[in-house]
Chain A
């Protein structure tokens, strides 16, 4: 296992380099630059600005500068949020997105998976229909409409919860629910399919014949085997949730990473976009490594490779 983790960390370096290079050139190919929206800058000031951030240098040289800084862990400077380094911005925005993402992930797991289990063990009766009905509702509305619905019901109508900003624990509830709606529904549907597959296996009957109780069989044997595909999607899903969703952060005015990312692309804030993309990639690799380890824990027959 230690070998796997070390290997993955070593693999992370070329992957990050590849993604940094790809994103770097993709962004520079785009028309427009970071200072385009500043109104009527005199050419001298424009030249000074470009020189300050090395944007007047040829592209390969800019790239070398960037990689050099990156190798020291410096993600660069934001051109829009004056004098704030990308490290600084991400250090303040990441914990917010992380909290929100983990809250949403907890909701998705604790609601979605049991919903799927109940649907599967009650296959084709009313409980199944109800569970899958709820789950299908969750994947049939865009996130901002779910947000609007929650704000309308809990914020405007019942006046129970705050509808925006990021201040107390109460402020986490609505954004977390909005963010969790889609993944919860998806997990429920996936769990149902995967449980049904496992329930049809012969060893379920064996376990019951052995005298194991119904619930013991479901939880110890069936669920454990059904978890493999669920864990597979949980890897990328948690990376996506933790990096933050623009929609949710925009609706609830949450100062997280998702918002910075979108505005940074529109502003051509090159370093900030690169920094956010790199964090996403790192999280994705970490999540997938944890998934690979969990595979082995769940089913020792699955060898840990790579």
Chain B
């Protein structure tokens, strides 16, 4: 009796989790569509993102749903416009981390031996340098535009993916199907691309769902400390850090952009958690 009730409870909980993850995926999808539409010039409000007006620092009202900033610009319009930069930075950082991390980890894991040891020590050295130092250096050399930020964020986030791919490869390399492929005369390239990578794909995807939100957070922190994007560039990070300065008198200025960051990052975290649960081979056995 007791056991059955508990089992039922568990499946209920798992159902809720899956529903939450679906909602999270829908939220992410909506945000992406909004960002893409706004980059195509579609306007969701009756203002443009840099349109100034007489109503300065107004709290939310019927005209300005989320209020206005110190130049009388509509905050909702600016948050929608800022989603272009914030969301694309998140995704592009994940893509860079995926490309660099997978290439590096594949080579290290596939060749193994001394090359592997050397490449892993290289990663250790990278870890020993503070992230901020690397990001600042890139910012100074490339500039603090979107491209500089992207490169900086990409360069500090690929190491985790590289380690993961390497560990997966070291483990998968010893499996029988790889030996079979080799016996059939498959080339190393073919083994990596056709056999090893598809099998290592699930954990890579999970790790990427966590890189997107951390890149969005890192961008906003960098912009806040003045090392990331700065106005007139408009991202959720720059909006929130503009709001920080007026925290005491106009708390709505920091509230709304932070809420946007919070919702997207939370959605990605939920999605990542559930994906990790679903894609983990150990859980498959239990279910």
Contacts and interface: CB of A to CB of B under 8 A. Distances in A.
Interface of A: 15, 18-19, 22-23, 26-27, 30-32, 123-125, 128-129, 132, 136-137, 139-145, 148, 151-152, 156, 236, 243, 246-247, 250, 261-262, 265-266, 273, 277, 280-281, 284
A124 B9 contact: yes
Nearest to B280: A193
A18 to B, nearest CB: 7
Chain B binding site: helix, strand, loop or mixed by DSSP?
helix
Given A124-B10, A136-B269, A19 B220 contact: no
Interface string B4-24: 000001100110100000000
B140 interface: yes
A12 to B, nearest CB: 11
Interface centre among A26, A32, A123 (most CB of B within 10 A): A26
B130 A152 contact: no
A141 B140 contact: no
B244 interface: yes
B13 A280 contact: no
Interface stretch (B27-35, B163-171, B221-229): B221-229
Given A124-B9, A125-B9, A23 B132 contact: no
Given A144-B224, A261-B132, A136 B13 contact: no
Given A30-B137, A141-B265, 13 more contacts: A123-B10, A124-B10, A124-B13, A125-B9, A136-B270, A148-B244, A243-B130, A247-B224, A247-B225, A262-B136, A262-B225, A262-B227, A266-B136
A277 B130 contact: yes
A151 B254 CA distance: 13
Chain A binding site: helix, strand, loop or mixed by DSSP?
helix
Contact of A145 (B127, B136, B225, B261): B261
Contact of B129 (A22, A128, A132): A22
B217 interface: yes
24 contacts: A15-B128, A19-B128, A22-B129, A31-B140, A123-B10, A125-B13, A132-B273, A137-B266, A139-B213, A139-B265, A140-B261, A140-B265, A140-B266, A141-B258, A142-B220, A142-B237, A142-B240, A144-B241, A145-B258, A145-B261, A247-B225, A261-B133, A265-B137, A280-B128
B133 A277 contact: yes
Contacts of A124: 9-10, 13-14
Contacts of B270: 136
A152 B9 CA distance: 39
B254 A145 contact: yes
